[in-house]
Structure 1
Amino acid sequence: MNTVSGHGAADGGWTIIVPVKALDRAKSRLARALPASDRRALALAMAADVLRTCVATPGVSRVRVVTSDPDMAALARLLPVEIVPEPVDAAGRPDGDPLNAALTGAIHGVPGPVGVVTADLPELGARQLARVLTAASRHPHSIVPDHRGAGTTMAFWTGPAGARVPRFGPGSAARHLSEGGAVPLDGADPSGAAGRDVDTPEDVRALTGRAVGEATAAVLRTPSLSQRAHSAGVSATMVR
């Protein structure tokens, strides 16, 4: 595991966990608009921006990325980020419910408050995340629903270890609320960046005129992707 020099939960700060699936499998819903190579590049760039935001956010003491992708791991090694491998079965395939199993493993044994932040939030900055963490610190369990209201972009726990159960996947917002007793933090980030994940071509088009992270903006300006983005009316080159 890549450890964070000088960081840790001993100071009472937040541990933030960012799950990143193998990039060859990432963003499949963008397939009707982007080829695999562009989807991979965009997913890696968004994850890089999210990780850098988490590292830069006041109150965050440790950041972990859960991934089995070698490119993502290589990028994480350049940052003060811990790497947690995805659990796999005997054949080397993702095991059972891979996302929640990986998150459960990454959360296990973490003292202090812990949160999960998804890797596809290109508009998220340290200021927005700090506001969300301030709101989350008031509740044993809280979430940020995605902009559609069905999914979850962030989940936080400040209570006992046994109550820290990730419920990501289809319909996760309702499950976090009904089964986990989470409090929704809908208004914690007035900009809405904390809930605007990018899953579909429509989400990419919605970035027009909005400020995104430096890595994401650079990918959207590459010739292969910018031509497709331009034809779809996308001009997401502003850097937050």
Structure 2
Amino acid sequence: MTTVSGHRAADGGWTIVVPVKALDRAKSRLARALPASDRRELALAMASDVLRTCVATPGVSRVRVVTSDTDVAALARLLPVEIVAEPPGTAGMTGDDPLNAALTGAIRGVPGPVGVVTADLPELGTSQLARVLSAASGHPHSIVPDHHGAGTTMAFWTGPVEERRPRFGPGSAARHVSDGGAVALDGADPSGASGRDVDTPEDVLALTGRTVGAATAAVIRTPSARQRPHAAGVSATMVR
């Protein structure tokens, strides 16, 4: 694991790890609505908003991004964010989700409470994340299920370091609970923003009228995007 140090050292607060896959592989399920260049731009914008939220949230002492993408790394260098290189070959791994191998390396040996926050939560703000962290601090292991109830948008550990095992991938919410003993933080974020990840055109469409981060809002308001036809009714003018 190669780590580029950020600008703050951990002081007993939370270490938050944000995984961002290479942008040319990001958000493939949006392909029926957005061309590759737009998907890449949207993924980078959402990652930017999530990273900035994590950095600005009270109680967070260190933020790490796990990525192999040069644009994401460049973004991280502008923020107080550590860069953890995605292990070589994880993109082609079979069996367990390769994301788990990358995350395991990123949290290994980190003292204090640790959390993983996915990079596709454009509605996540500091107040929502602070509420979730407060709830997570009361459990050895906890998660935030996605808005479908099957996936996981956040996972947290405050217990022994050797028991911290990410279980992301299909059906991850159930596996975090049944295999890892995690507690689902239902109701910790009444707004629901912490569970509303963006994977499909329908998820993008559901952002209509909701508050999203500045980078995400700028991307989906781009004039060039507005002029393109979008499948499944997705419009680039859907957010205020």
Tell me the TM-score normalised to structure 1 length: 0.93
**Number of the residue aligned with 1:71:** 71
Q: Distance in 2 between matches of 1:226 and 1:122?
A: 19
Give, as a single letter, the amino acid of the residue that structure 1 aligns with 2:9: G
Give, as a single letter, the amino acid of the residue that structure 2 aligns with 1:4: G
Task: State the shift of 1:186 in Å.
Answer: 1.7
Q: What CA RMSD, in Å, does the superposition of the two structures yield over aligned residues?
A: 1.6
Tell me the TM-score normalised to structure 2 length: 0.93
Task: State the shift of 1:57 in Å.
Answer: 0.2
Task: State the shift of 1:94 in Å.
Answer: 4.7
Residues 67 and 86 in structure 2, CA contact (< 8 A), matched pair in contact too? yes
Give, as a single letter, the amino acid of the residue that structure 2 aligns with 1:21: K
Residues 16 and 117 in structure 2, CA contact (< 8 A), matched pair in contact too? yes
**Number of the residue aligned with 2:234:** 232
Q: Distance in 2 between matches of 1:151 and 1:214?
A: 26
**Number of the residue aligned with 2:148:** 148
Task: State the shift of 1:223 in Å.
Answer: 1.9
Q: Distance in 1 between matches of 2:16 and 2:91?
A: 25
**Number of the residue aligned with 2:6:** 4
Residues 147 and 195 in structure 2, CA contact (< 8 A), matched pair in contact too? yes
Deviations 1:33-69 (A, max 9, x none): 0000000000000000000000000000000000000
Give, as a single letter, the amino acid of the residue that structure 2 aligns with 1:184: A
Residues 18 and 64 in structure 1, CA contact (< 8 A), matched pair in contact too? yes
Residues 2 and 83 in structure 1, CA contact (< 8 A), matched pair in contact too? yes
Residues 137 and 158 in structure 1, CA contact (< 8 A), matched pair in contact too? yes
Give, as a single letter, the amino acid of the residue that structure 2 aligns with 1:8: A
Q: After TM superposition, list the pairs within 5 Å mapping 1:90-101 onto structure 2.
A: 94-95=92-93, 97-101=97-101
Q: 1:207 to 1:181 in 2, by over 3 A?
A: same
**Number of the residue aligned with 1:39:** 39
Deviations 1:143-179 (A, max 9, x none): 0000000000000000001110000000000000000
Residues 19 and 118 in structure 1, CA contact (< 8 A), matched pair in contact too? yes
Q: Distance in 2 between matches of 1:229 and 1:32?
A: 8
Task: State the shift of 1:8 in Å.
Answer: 2.3
Task: State the shift of 1:233 in Å.
Answer: 5.1
Residues 205 and 229 in structure 1, CA contact (< 8 A), matched pair in contact too? no
Residues 121 and 194 in structure 2, CA contact (< 8 A), matched pair in contact too? yes
**Number of the residue aligned with 1:183:** 183
**Unmatched segments (≥5 aa) in structure 1:** none
**Number of the residue aligned with 1:198:** 198
Residues 48 and 75 in structure 1, CA contact (< 8 A), matched pair in contact too? yes
Runs of 4+ aligned residues of structure 1 deviating over 6 Å after TM superposition are none
**Number of the residue aligned with 1:216:** 216
SS at match of 2:100: helix
Residues 205 and 232 in structure 1, CA contact (< 8 A), matched pair in contact too? yes
SS at match of 1:51: helix
Give, as a single letter, the amino acid of the residue that structure 2 aligns with 1:48: S
SS at match of 2:4: coil
Give, as a single letter, the amino acid of the residue that structure 2 aligns with 1:76: A
Percent of matched pairs sharing the same residue: 78
Does 1:62 pair with 2:72?
Answer: no
Residues 211 and 236 in structure 1, CA contact (< 8 A), matched pair in contact too? no
In the alignment of these two chains, the number of paired residues is 234
Task: State the shift of 1:88 in Å.
Answer: 1.1
**Unmatched segments (≥5 aa) in structure 2:** none
